[in-house]
């Protein structure tokens, strides 16, 4: 925040509390950027370095630290400057969602479009991407996130970008002993390398200051999972990649976070829940008493992509109905109890 903007927000507060007697204000900002000689940030202020004002007769009154805190609270209550790097406001933001033709990706694209974004639907299934884009009033681009040339074409199709959602992902069921190398490589290339390739290619389309990236991980990144091949490992890598991206892109004001869905009913999971009784039993076993739906995940992504999360970066938000609170074992118990009733 610029010195002038700080002063504009401080002066009304000081005048209000001191009867309009303000002649001059010196400010020490929370990060120490505007601190004068010998003064640190507000958290380190010794009494002589507190905010002070001079009265009409020239007498100098040091304000105590509690008053400095009041002033800081006043600044926060007024909100951030639109030019601040973590709160860029645009008339119509552009959002790119990969793997957006179906399921969670489609729900994310729909939510961002409903929130007013111009959405680009990217998917390896070009025909399905076109259908989704038509339904949402969006634009479709066929893209295989594993292929650098395809990703480069995607980047070239963008004039600018404000939000990137790395949702494209696959999984292959297998025990670690039975997993095949080609399946493992496909999972890692799509889920991890693909997210990196897309981000690397489009990040220069972001504004000079600001923007948001949301990566899709999974609750299995935290819990693991029997018979899931290297899918949990790939999603754990996304958590680490999110932190690395957050650190590297923070100087540009780009926030990077991740969302980790739990058990969500989509086209991709329909086979696992073909038995309605089993589906209901597992849903009832969840701490929140139901399975998730794509809109649950989309809402979390929309929040992290918005200015409301302007001071959040490097974090993973699990949207799992409490699954990670209880661990994995209770689901197996629910399945066993259901099977015992058959």
Residue 182 tokens, joined: 């080609």
For residues 297 and 104, the answer to whether their CB atoms sit within 8 Å is yes
CA distance 245 to 158: 21
For residues 79 and 307, the answer to whether their CB atoms sit within 8 Å is no
CA distance 43 to 201: 40
Pick the catalytic residue: 74, 231, 249, 338? 231
CA distance 290 to 223: 19
Q: How many CA atoms lie within 13 A of 49 on its CB side?
A: 17
Instruction: Find the angle CA(225)-CA(227)-CA(233) to the nearest 5 degrees.
Output: 50
- CA 161 from centre of chain: 15
Cβ atoms within 10 Å, residue 322: 13
Q: Is residue 231 among the annotated active site residues?
A: yes
Distances (CA, A) of 221 to 212, 246, 282, 292, 339: 22, 18, 20, 17, 28
List residues with catalytic annotation: 231
């Amino acid at each position: 925040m610029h010195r002038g903007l700080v002063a504009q927000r401080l002066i009304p507060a000081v005048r209000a509390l001191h009867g309009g007697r303000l002649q001059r204000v010196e400010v020490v900002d929370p990060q120490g950027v505007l601190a004068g000689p010998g003064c640190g940030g507000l958290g380190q202020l010794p009494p002589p370095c507190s905010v002070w004002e001079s009265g009409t007769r020239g007498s100098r009154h040091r304000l105590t630290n509690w008053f400095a805190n009041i002033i800081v609270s006043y600044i926060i209550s007024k909100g951030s400057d639109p030019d601040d790097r973590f709160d860029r406001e645009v008339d119509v933001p552009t959002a790119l969602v990969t793997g957006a033709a179906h399921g969670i990706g489609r729900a994310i694209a729909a939510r961002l479009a409903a929130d007013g974004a111009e959405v680009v639907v990217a998917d390896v299934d070009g025909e399905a991407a076109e259908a989704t884009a038509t339904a949402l009033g969006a634009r479709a681009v066929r893209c295989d996130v594993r292929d650098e040339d395809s990703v480069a074409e995607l980047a070239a199709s963008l004039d600018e970008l404000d939000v990137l959602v790395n949702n494209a992902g696959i999984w292959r069921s297998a025990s670690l002993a039975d997993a095949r190398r080609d399946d493992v490589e496909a999972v890692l290339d799509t889920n991890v390398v693909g997210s990196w390739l897309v981000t690397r290619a489009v990040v220069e389309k972001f504004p000079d200051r600001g923007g948001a990236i949301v990566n899709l991980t999974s609750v299995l990144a935290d819990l693991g999972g029997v018979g899931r091949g290297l899918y949990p490992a790939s999603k754990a890598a996304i958590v680490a990649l999110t932190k690395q991206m957050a650190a590297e892109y923070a100087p540009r004001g780009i926030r990077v976070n991740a969302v980790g869905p739990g058990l969500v009913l989509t086209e991709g999971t329909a086979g696992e829940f073909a038995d309605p009784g089993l589906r209901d039993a597992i849903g009832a076993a969840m701490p929140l008493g139901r399975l998730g739906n794509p809109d649950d995940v989309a809402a979390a992504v929309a929040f992290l992509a918005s200015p409301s999360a302007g001071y959040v970066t490097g974090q993973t938000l699990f949207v799992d109905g409490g699954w990670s609170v209880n661990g994995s074992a209770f689901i197996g118990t629910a399945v066993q109890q259901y099977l015992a009733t058959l």
